[in-house]
Chains A and B, each alone.
Chain A
């Protein structure tokens, strides 16, 4: 049985200033198995973030529906943890308080929260930084906290919207390994949006490639590389072959985006 079912989900934005409505997303069908790590790869503006936001319940689909454990998604909830590209830690809360936020919203007593928070602080390697304010942390540490904050709720599915997009290359590589390590140990259903081909392959058990706007699924590639994965995997021949294939897929779409005039987009 699928953990997450996306059935005929499309999204059209109303026209601006009397303009024609803009179709951001063609009807999408996608079934996600439990404990799968799915990356959604697409050029900028293809609607992949919109799709993720619909799964999160932050936006409503124009048509179709999303089912999580056979229940229709109508609004955001703690069963779908989300990590955003922008730094969304609450600046008035410390690292530990940020991680405890969801537990508090659930009404959990502070004492119970502490143990859970401590375990997630350890999981993302932030021991010693529990009482720091977000502004005192580097971008990578902020995103680690954001991941811990989403995971502390023990969500059914973890949604990530280009979470490492704003990080430098080296930090991004380390963050990929960290997140993948957590997934390998804890098994979680993950939907991860990115425009970075290498990242999409390295993290995924399955890569969904999307077309240029209006977004639709172009290809669905199973990644059978062995686990646990190590960064050296990125230089292996199998990895390179997958990369070559997806690069070709994405390149065509990126060129279509570049050539499309704003009026047609």
Chain B
């Protein structure tokens, strides 16, 4: 095969789908063929049956909704705090010098390790779930945005100065619009991570949500339900990512294509 040679669109789709087919076929072969113990891994068909029962009989869709609300709630909370701080750090170097060492340190604190502490502070209600996502996202967003803003094209800033911009004008009318698409892309990325944090938060001390259903199913050895839950998370993540991407394209027509 010639390196770096592009693949035709049709073949690309066919290859992409064929992996899923192979994957599911392998899964069906080891489960339905009796190569693994059913207790530890459900086959694809019972997974679908379990999922359907979950949705219809156990009102699993309520858990899905509550998990979505937690992700977006925590994510919006983190964004509202982190975006202005990130912009300030990128734009004004003293602010960066003041906050960057701490934020860099805080970024490596694992959100999951905070869960016991957050439960002590905020109980096991909704606030605790939001805070887990907040702690997991906020420092990441701050740092990435600070770096993006800090690398704003200097020639655009200089051009604006020669057109009469004040220091505040530069921040509002050059630095912010210039980085808006990158900031939106950063948020899209971090939203993906927020899905990981919410499940972890729901695995511990929770009575609702997709994560709760998963941990609950574990005690009943309902591997079909666990796999269904994981697939649902993946699908929602994929959908929200597509939606976010489309929204960014619509918002910033000047930056793409």
* Beta-carbon contact of A86 and B162 below 8 Å: no
Question: Per-residue 0/1 for B151-167: is the Cβ within 8 Å of any A Cβ (1 yes, 0 no)?
Answer: 00001101111111110
Instruction: Please indicate the chain A residues that have their CB under 8 angstroms from the CB of B174 in the complex.
Output: 90
Cβ of B101 within 8 Å of any chain A Cβ, yes or no, is: no
> Which residues of chain B (22-64) have a CB below 8 Å from chain A?
none
- Output the least CB separation between A136 and chain B (Å): 9
* Beta-carbon contact of B254 and A82 below 8 Å: no
Given contacts A92-B180, A101-B163, A105-B169, are A76 and B253 in contact (CB under 8 A)? no
Cβ of B177 within 8 Å of any chain A Cβ, yes or no, is: yes
Cβ of A213 within 8 Å of any chain B Cβ, yes or no, is: no
- Output the least CB separation between A131 and chain B (Å): 11
Instruction: Please indicate the chain A residues that have their CB under 8 angstroms from the CB of B178 in the complex.
Output: 90-92
Interface size of A as a range: 20 to 34
Cβ of B173 within 8 Å of any chain A Cβ, yes or no, is: yes
- Output the least CB separation between B114 and chain A (Å): 38
* Beta-carbon contact of A81 and B252 below 8 Å: no
Question: Per-residue 0/1 for B171-213: is the Cβ within 8 Å of any A Cβ (1 yes, 0 no)?
Answer: 0011001101000000000000000000000000000000000
Q: Once the chains are docked, how many angstroms separate the CA of A153 from the CA of B155? A: 19
Contacting residue for B162 out of A58, A104, A133, A135, CB 8 A:
A58
- Output the least CB separation between B166 and chain A (Å): 8
Given contacts A90-B178, A92-B180, A133-B254, are A84 and B165 in contact (CB under 8 A)? no
* Beta-carbon contact of B162 and A56 below 8 Å: yes
Q: Which residue of A lies closest to B253 (CB)?
A: A133
Cβ of A78 within 8 Å of any chain B Cβ, yes or no, is: yes
Instruction: Please indicate the chain B residues that have their CB under 8 angstroms from the CB of A17 in the complex.
Output: none
* Beta-carbon contact of A153 and B164 below 8 Å: yes
Cβ of A64 within 8 Å of any chain B Cβ, yes or no, is: no
Instruction: Please indicate the chain B residues that have their CB under 8 angstroms from the CB of A135 in the complex.
Output: 254
Q: Which residue of A lies closest to B176 (CB)?
A: A92
Q: Once the chains are docked, how many angstroms separate the CA of A102 from the CA of B162? A: 9
Q: Once the chains are docked, how many angstroms separate the CA of A120 from the CA of B155? A: 23
* Beta-carbon contact of B158 and A76 below 8 Å: yes
Q: List 8 A-B contacts (CB under 8 A).
A: A76-B161, A77-B161, A91-B255, A101-B160, A102-B163, A104-B173, A150-B162, A150-B163
Q: A78-B164, A84-B155, A92-B177 are in contact. List 5 more A-B contacts (CB 8 A).
A: A57-B161, A58-B162, A76-B158, A78-B162, A150-B162
Q: Which residues of A contact B (CB under 8 A)?
A: 56-58, 75-78, 80-82, 84, 86, 88, 90-93, 101-102, 104-106, 133-135, 146, 149-150, 153, 159
Q: Which residues of B contact A (CB under 8 A)?
A: 155-156, 158-166, 169, 173-174, 177-178, 180, 252-255
